[in-house]
Structures are given as structure tokens and as C-alpha cells.
């Protein structure tokens, strides 16, 4: 989904237009002038938007948050372990420090090994507040020790072996080139998400099923997950893919293009 939100006590939440800093300024200015708005303003965004693979404009968001005294929360579920020179996340891609983001949320179920659960990262004061007041924390069990240890090892591996991030970039470049050469248009993105827009939901699901029969697992997404008429096959590349895997993907897409 391509949603970014401003949350303010007394007025609830408002959604500003995707990657539109002027629209965010309008929303923040309205909250600033509203007598009903009290407390802290929170600007919440994805780091990587999962359906297109485009990025949240974190420098622009940070600048507006500083101007209006707002807190910036980034869900970097699709950026952690992937974006930036060492895979630290979307903020690293933008040349920012971790301290430039007030709160990070993320998952342990994607680049960090496919485990369960997620995390929130921020200042000690913010984390202490969540531990004491956050209902999901208060009323949930802790992660199993095996999952926590697996996640810690995945983070250690990511930090100690940055060549994995470069391998991912190389794989993505190879796959994107191959997808284009066989006649499909893949949305431009610096991420490992390679969406092929096919139009109707029925076509996306049919293509996904055909690809699976060919030994390629790529999910089709349609309305209401994406706008009507913009259904897609979302291909996600991994550093673990070998060239033979990418070639199988490309040849399967070539066969699909001939069928079309």
C-alpha cells in the first residue's frame, strides 16, 4: 500500500498524498492552526513501499517534521537488510543516520531470515514508554528464544558480510535487464521489488499460476491491494538466488510473453 499518515491527538489521523511534501506541509499547517489538536504530531511512512518498490522521501519528511515539531516514524520492513551500502535500511540509502528517524518499526520475517515477529527501535525513553504503555507489548508473549537468536544472528551476518548486499544489487540488475529484454515493463526502483504491471486482476492471478507451474513463485496482486486496472506480478529478488534461478525466471517470462 502507498499510504503515509499524520496522527495527532484530538483530530485523529490524516493521509497526505503519496510522496507529496507540499501536501504534507498543508496537513501539518492545518494541525498547527487547529485548536482541537493537542500533544505530539506523528508522521508515519514506509521506507520502501512494497507494491511499487519506491521509497519514502525521508530527507523531505525529516525537514518538515523538524519545521513543525513532529516525530517521524518509519516502517522499514522492506528496507532493513536491503537498502543502503551495508543494508542498514532506507535511511542509509538517503545518507541519513539512524538518529535522524525518531522511531523505526520493522519485521523479522523478510530480509532478516524469514522468522516471526518484529521490532521497534528508538531512544531509550521511547522504548521504555512502549514497554510500559504499549498494549501489544503488555498483552503479548515474548518471541521464542530460538527466533530471537536467529534474528540476532541474521543482523550479525548482515553487518559482517556486506558483500551479500552487493550480490543482491547485482542479482536485481540482472533480473531487471532480463525481464525488460523478454518484453515486460518492470517499474523502476532501487529496491529488490520488481513489479510487472499487467492490468486486470484475473490476468495477474492467471500469470502467477502459470509461472508456478513453470517452477517460478511470483505472486499476483490485484484490487483492492493495488488500484483497479493496475494489477501486477510482484517479483522479489534475493541475494541467495543463483544465476540459474534468475535465468529460469527470465525464460518463464519469455514463454509467457509468447503465449500472450
pLDDT at 113: 76
Q: Choose the catalytic residue: 8, 78, 91, 241.
A: 78
Whether the per-residue pLDDT at 101 is higher than 50: the answer is yes
Specify whether 113 is located in the same domain as 40.
yes
User: Is 245 an active-site residue?
Assistant: no
pLDDT at 135: 85
Mean pLDDT, to the nearest integer, of 36-49?
Answer: 88
CATH of the domain at 148: 3.40.640.10
Q: Choose the catalytic residue: 8, 91, 110, 241.
A: 110
How far, rounded to the nearest angstrom, does the alpha carbon of residue 209 sit from its chain's CA centroid? 25
Three-state secondary structure readout of 128-190:
HHHHHHCHHHHCCCCCCHHHHHHHHHHHHHHHHCCHHHHHHHHHHHHHHHHHHHCCCCECCCC
CA distance 193 to 176: 10
Whether the per-residue pLDDT at 58 is higher than 80: the answer is yes
What phi and psi values does residue 216 have, to the nearest 5 degrees? Answer: -120, 125
Q: What percent of the chain clears pLDDT 90, i.e. is strictly above it? A: 66
The residues near 1 (Cβ < 8 Å, ≥ 6 apart) are 49, 50, 51, 225
Whether the per-residue pLDDT at 39 is higher than 60: the answer is yes
CA 60, 63, 69 angle in degrees (round to 5)?
Answer: 135
Specify whether 138 is located in the same domain as 172.
no
Lowest mean pLDDT among 1-15, 54-68, 158-172, 229-243: 1-15
Whether the per-residue pLDDT at 12 is higher than 80: the answer is no
Whether the per-residue pLDDT at 118 is higher than 90: the answer is no
User: Is 50 an active-site residue?
Assistant: yes
State the burial class of residue 109 (Cβ atoms within 10 Å of its Cβ: 0-12, 13-18, 19+). middle
User: Is 29 an active-site residue?
Assistant: no
Position 54 confidence tier, pLDDT thresholds 50, 70, 90:
very high
pLDDT at 192: 93
Query: Of 160, 193, 215, which residue constitutes the final position of a domain?
Result: 160
Query: Of 135, 160, 185, which residue constitutes the final position of a domain?
Result: 160
Nearest in space to 129 (alpha carbons), one of 138, 142, 141, 139: 138
CA distance 66 to 43: 11
Tens digit of each residue's pLDDT (9 = 90 or more) over 181-207: 999 989 899 999 999 999 999 999 999
Query: Of 97, 130, 160, which residue constitutes the final position of a domain?
Result: 160
CB atoms inside a 10 Å sphere around CB 160: 10
What phi and psi values does residue 145 have, to the nearest 5 degrees? Answer: -55, -40
Specify whether 9 is located in the same domain as 133.
yes
Specify whether 107 is located in the same domain as 28.
yes
Q: How many domains does the chain have?
A: 2
Specify whether 50 is located in the same domain as 132.
yes
Strand order from edge to edge, sheet including 193-199: 193-199, 231-236, 219-221
Q: State the residue for C-alpha cell 535522524.
A: 100
Q: State which residues form the domain around 255.
A: 163-259
Question: 25-29, 37-41, 256-260 — which one is most confidently predicted on average?
Answer: 25-29
| β-sheet bridge partners, residue 194 | 235
Q: What percent of the chain clears pLDDT 70, i.e. is strictly above it? A: 94
CA distance 24 to 21: 5
pTM above 0.85, yes or no: yes
pLDDT at 1: 44
Lowest mean pLDDT among 33-37, 42-46, 141-145: 33-37
Specify whether 94 is located in the same domain as 172.
no
Tens digit of each residue's pLDDT (9 = 90 or more) over 141-183: 888 888 888 888 988 998 899 899 999 999 999 999 999 999 9
Q: State the residue for C-alpha cell 491491494.
A: 225
CA distance 35 to 10: 9
Amino acid at each position: 500500500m502507498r499510504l503515509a499518515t499524520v496522527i495527532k491527538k484530538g483530530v485523529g489521523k490524516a493521509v497526505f498524498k503519496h510522496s507529496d511534501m507540499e501536501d504534507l506541509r498543508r496537513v501539518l499547517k492545518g494541525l498547527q492552526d487547529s485548536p482541537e489538536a493537542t500533544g505530539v504530531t506523528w508522521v508515519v511512512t514506509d521506507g520502501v513501499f512494497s507494491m511499487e518498490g519506491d521509497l519514502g522521501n525521508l530527507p523531505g519528511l525529516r525537514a518538515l517534521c523538524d519545521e513543525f515539531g513532529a516525530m517521524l516514524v518509519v516502517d522499514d520492513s522492506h528496507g532493513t537488510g536491503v537498502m543502503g551500502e551495508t543494508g542498514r535500511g532506507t535511511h542509509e540509502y538517503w545518507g541519513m543516520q539512524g538518529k535522524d528517524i525518531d522511531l523505526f518499526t520493522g519485521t523479522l520475517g523478510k530480509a532478516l531470515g524469514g522468522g516471526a515477529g518484529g521490532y521497534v527501535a528508538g531512544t531509550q525513553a521511547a522504548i521504555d514508554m512502549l514497554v510500559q504503555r504499549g498494549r501489544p507489548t503488555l498483552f503479548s508473549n515474548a518471541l521464542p528464544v530460538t527466533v530471537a537468536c536467529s534474528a540476532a544472528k541474521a543482523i550479525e551476518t548482515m553487518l559482517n558480510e556486506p558483500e551479500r548486499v552487493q550480490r543482491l544489487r547485482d542479482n536485481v540488475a540482472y533480473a531487471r535487464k532480463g525481464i525488460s529484454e523478454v518484453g515486460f515493463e518492470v517499474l523502476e526502483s532501487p529496491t529488490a521489488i520488481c513489479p510487472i504491471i499487467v492490468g486486470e486482476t484475473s490476468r495477474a492471478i492467471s500469470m502467477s499460476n502459470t509461472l508456478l507451474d513453470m517452477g517460478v513463485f511470483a505472486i499476483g496482486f490485484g484490487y483492492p491491494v493495488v488500484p483497479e486496472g493496475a494489477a501486477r506480478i510482484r517479483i522479489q529478488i534475493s541475494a541467495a538466488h543463483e544465476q540459474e534461478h534468475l535465468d529460469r525466471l527470465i525464460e518463464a517470462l519469455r514463454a509467457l510473453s509468447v503465449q500472450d
